[in-house]
Chain A
Amino acid sequence: MADPHPIDEHLQTAFPALVPADAGPDVLAYHVAAAELPAVARHLHDKMQARLALLWAVDRRPSAPRHEVRYLFALAPGDPWVSLTLDVPEGTRLFPSITPFIHAAHWFEREIRDLFGLIPQGHPDLRRLVRHEHWPKGTHPLRKTFAWNHVIGRQPGEFRFRHLEGEGVFEVPVGPIHAGVIEPGHFRFSVAGEPIMQLEVRHFWKHRGVEKLFEQRRLTDGVPLAERISGDTTVGHALAYCQAAERLLAVTPPRRARYLRSWLLELERLHNHLGDVGAICNDTAYAVAHAQSSRMKERVMQINDRVSGSRFLRGLLCVGGMTRDVAPQSLQHAMEELAPLEHDFSELEAIIGGNASLTDRLETTGVLGERVAWDHGVVGLVGRASGLDRDVRRDRPFAAYDEVMPVTVPVYRYGDVRARLRVRIDEIHESFRLLRELYRAMPDGPISADTGPDPAEGQWAVSAVEGWRGEILCFLMAGPEGRIHRCKVRDPSFMNWPAIQWAAVGNIIPDFPLINKSFNLSYAGNDL
């Protein structure tokens, strides 16, 4: 028996009533009573600086007559996750809300209320989140008693936005269909003159029931759905899903597969960041930079197509490894095409960096302070632009990241649009380096391993991947006969959308598209 982890010891001393549960090497799991939960969560968050990474519910029926509300906290890099489980027996609908002191729980708890019908007691804002007002009362799709293909009726109803009142205060509604070719979402601005006084984001227009659809699948064939959670993060989501499923099915993908996965993930980061650099410039009407960088992005997309037969790298990953190998010539060809691209981009970077009027427009626009970012549990490049030094590739290495030189993580403190642009530019260079290094060290060998026996019902695993937007989490619980009992996916966008409401305050509406572009969050990944 190994020595208990210091964090484990600390928690058990502080809260002797915690019941430890077995959950594998990188998670400390406990069962908590409802009365004690707020105190434990608060202790973790306030005293131990733990970040609430995920909060979700599981309907354990039919195997057990209860719901579970689960909390996943992230501590310092290298420390295990801390998972808390709260049992909500059948017949009870209430569970204690932690939102009053952990702001990051705000949307999570509203989501649980909508999807499971469990009510977070003490939550300051119980308006609907996922279910829009036209969903009939009592529709809670993730309950096991709710059929996945149920046809939902309609009822009249209207969402109540938070109103600001006063002389000269106007509301500007935007969306769900926007002016550009982007995804649907509703933004409600309260303005007095030009500056934004308040922004409220109303999302979940694209809710497609992804988590319920996962429950209709087997553990081994969830990848096609995972790839379509958010198209621009195809590899990121597929990888997060694969890693969770592999942990449940007790299979380790071969080395070559792990290298290829990292390589593909970097390729995905590259095409998205290249596109974003141009798109941010475009929103300041700087067309030259946009044209140049969208040309480079297109180059990478064409490389994707040649390597995988899909411009979004779809259909390559599978549970246990890869569906097919990438031929050595094809890899070499891709690297040869990528080589001049880095110099190409450096030239563009010099042009962008030398443009004083662009810098003037980006600096101090859309500032997201470190404190606000921390309170919202902001992850990924948005967090790194606001001083939060986090990167899963370095903090909890996955795939092949523990075998190459550690990832250099750019961190900026200003939290403005320029900082987010800088993070992207630095990460583009880092991705080029990683692509080269991964290619050089790419081992030969098999590309997939056979999966082990079906896991016992109720076994679960959680995995984290640093997609190009940030930390993607995937929680998987096994059902009977290798089926999925519950799959909870958290795209980084879900953490970062509420934070954008604060980054916009004080800016003028014409700057909002620029701020939004600099966050570039996924609506599809958020709405699920």
Chain B
Amino acid sequence: MFRILKKSLKTGVVTGQHPPAAEPEEEAKPAARESARLFRRSLTIREVDTGSCNACEMEMNALANPIYDMERFGLHIAASPRHADALVVTGPVTINMERALKDAYKQTPDPKLVIALGDCAVNCGVFKGSYAVTGPVDRHIPVDLHIPGCPPRPVEILKAIEALRDEPERA
């Protein structure tokens, strides 16, 4: 017990100890910002991997660590698409995952956001053209926000989602 307390006190608060993010490359579309208004205070995310190399998953997981602590921005991960406000899709959409992605999209209640995370989800990346790839994501479901990068850094993901949910007059 003492060891744990000592360790916690010694560690202190580490949240925010990361290098600053570059400005997002892509401005969120006005329509996407309009639909994101609803989720300004709280956004529950379901992550769907459609064939990424798992680097994007690692960065999504990193968002939950004490350094990025995404819960402080009202971002949560839901276990089911039925509990989600937003789908975060990674990967180039493989032929085997195409149907699962469409199912997850259908199961997500309206209104909803779709965020394509990583180069693969945006334009299929190095897997473009392969027989096993049917993407990118916006070929199958409407996408509100693209976050490019291979993979985008956690702080860039945070920044892009924040920019989407920001009040228009503040942006």
Residues of A within 8 A of B (CB): 132, 134-135, 141, 146-152, 176-177, 179-184, 204-210, 212-213, 224-225, 228-232, 234, 275, 288, 291-292, 294-295, 297-298, 301-302, 305, 311-312, 314, 347-348, 350-351, 354, 522-524, 527
Q: List 23 A-B contacts (CB under 8 A).
A: A152-B132, A176-B97, A177-B49, A177-B100, A179-B80, A181-B47, A181-B57, A205-B94, A206-B52, A207-B95, A208-B94, A213-B126, A225-B126, A231-B53, A231-B58, A295-B66, A297-B65, A298-B18, A298-B68, A302-B18, A312-B55, A347-B3, A523-B54
Q: How many A-B residue pairs have CB under 8 A?
A: 158
Determine whether the beta carbon of B96 is less than 8 Å from that of A231. Answer: no
Determine whether the beta carbon of B131 is less than 8 Å from that of A151. Answer: yes
Q: How far is the CB of B69 from chain A (nearest CB, A)?
A: 10
A-binding segment of B4-12, B20-28, B136-144, B159-167: B4-12
Partner of A183, one of B7, B54, B130: B54
Q: A205-B100, A231-B53, A524-B53 are in contact. Are A149 and B65 (CB under 8 A)?
A: no
Among A149, A177, A181, which residue has the most Cβ atoms of chain B within 10 A? A181
Alpha-carbon distance between A228 and B151 when the two chains are bound, in angstroms: 10
Alpha-carbon distance between A322 and B71 when the two chains are bound, in angstroms: 39
Determine whether the beta carbon of B131 is less than 8 Å from that of A294. Answer: no
Partner of B65, one of A208, A225, A298, A311: A298
B38: interface (CB < 8 Å): no
Across the interface, which residues of A come within 8 angstroms of B49, CB to CB?
Answer: 177, 182-184, 206
Determine whether the beta carbon of A212 is less than 8 Å from that of B131. Answer: yes
Closest 3 CB pairs of A and B: A231-B55, A179-B79, A209-B132
Residues of B within 8 A of A (CB): 3-4, 7-8, 11, 14, 18-19, 47-62, 64-68, 77, 79-81, 91-92, 94-97, 99-100, 104, 125-127, 129-133, 150-151, 153
Partner of A213, one of B59, B79, B127: B127
Q: How far is the CB of B83 from chain A (nearest CB, A)?
A: 10
Q: How far is the CB of A120 from chain B (nearest CB, A)?
A: 22
Alpha-carbon distance between A176 and B95 when the two chains are bound, in angstroms: 13
Determine whether the beta carbon of A230 is less than 8 Å from that of B54. Answer: yes
Determine whether the beta carbon of A132 is less than 8 Å from that of B7. Answer: no
Determine whether the beta carbon of B96 is less than 8 Å from that of A205. Answer: yes
Alpha-carbon distance between A201 and B11 when the two chains are bound, in angstroms: 41
Q: A295-B65, A351-B7 are in contact. Are A231 and B131 (CB under 8 A)?
A: no
Of all chain B residues, the one with the shortest Cβ separation from A227 is B53
Determine whether the beta carbon of B7 is less than 8 Å from that of A206. Answer: no
Across the interface, which residues of A come within 8 angstroms of B94, CB to CB?
Answer: 205-208
Partner of B57, one of A141, A150, A182: A182
Across the interface, which residues of B come within 8 angstroms of A151, CB to CB?
Answer: 131
Alpha-carbon distance between A528 and B18 when the two chains are bound, in angstroms: 33
Of all chain A residues, the one with the shortest Cβ separation from B18 is A302
Of all chain A residues, the one with the shortest Cβ separation from B62 is A298
Q: How far is the CB of A227 from chain B (nearest CB, A)?
A: 8
Alpha-carbon distance between A132 and B47 when the two chains are bound, in angstroms: 23
Across the interface, which residues of A come within 8 angstroms of B11, CB to CB?
Answer: 292, 295
Q: A212-B130, A351-B3 are in contact. Are A205 and B54 (CB under 8 A)?
A: no
Determine whether the beta carbon of B66 is less than 8 Å from that of A291. Answer: yes
Q: How far is the CB of A176 from chain B (nearest CB, A)?
A: 5
Q: A181-B77, A298-B67 are in contact. Are A231 and B132 (CB under 8 A)?
A: no
Determine whether the beta carbon of A205 is less than 8 Å from that of B126. Answer: no
Q: How far is the CB of B17 from chain A (nearest CB, A)?
A: 9
Determine whether the beta carbon of B3 is less than 8 Å from that of A205. Answer: no
Q: How far is the CB of A528 from chain B (nearest CB, A)?
A: 9
Determine whether the beta carbon of A305 is less than 8 Å from that of B56. Answer: no
Alpha-carbon distance between A148 and B150 when the two chains are bound, in angstroms: 23
Determine whether the beta carbon of B3 is less than 8 Å from that of A350. Answer: yes
Determine whether the beta carbon of B133 is less than 8 Å from that of A208. Answer: yes
Determine whether the beta carbon of A204 is less than 8 Å from that of B96. Answer: yes
Across the interface, which residues of B come within 8 angstroms of A311, CB to CB?
Answer: 59, 151, 153
Among B7, B77, B96, which residue has the most Cβ atoms of chain A within 10 A? B96
Of all chain B residues, the one with the shortest Cβ separation from A347 is B7
Across the interface, which residues of B come within 8 angstroms of A523, CB to CB?
Answer: 54
Across the interface, which residues of A come within 8 angstroms of B130, CB to CB?
Answer: 148-149, 208-209, 212-213
Of all chain A residues, the one with the shortest Cβ separation from B127 is A208
Across the interface, which residues of A come within 8 angstroms of B55, CB to CB?
Answer: 228, 231-232, 234, 312
Q: A206-B91, A291-B65, A291-B66 are in contact. Are A184 and B57 (CB under 8 A)?
A: no
Q: A232-B55, A291-B66 are in contact. Are A302 and B19 (CB under 8 A)?
A: yes
Determine whether the beta carbon of B131 is less than 8 Å from that of A148. Answer: yes
Q: A176-B97, A224-B126 are in contact. Are A295 and B54 (CB under 8 A)?
A: no
Alpha-carbon distance between A527 and B68 when the two chains are bound, in angstroms: 31
Determine whether the beta carbon of A149 is less than 8 Å from that of B100. Answer: no
Determine whether the beta carbon of A301 is less than 8 Å from that of B62. Answer: yes
Determine whether the beta carbon of A148 is less than 8 Å from that of B96. Answer: no
Partner of A348, one of B7, B62, B96, B151: B7
Determine whether the beta carbon of A181 is less than 8 Å from that of B60. Answer: yes
Alpha-carbon distance between A145 and B101 when the two chains are bound, in angstroms: 30
Across the interface, which residues of B come within 8 angstroms of A314, CB to CB?
Answer: 150
Partner of B96, one of A179, A207, A228, A291: A207
Of all chain B residues, the one with the shortest Cβ separation from A310 is B150
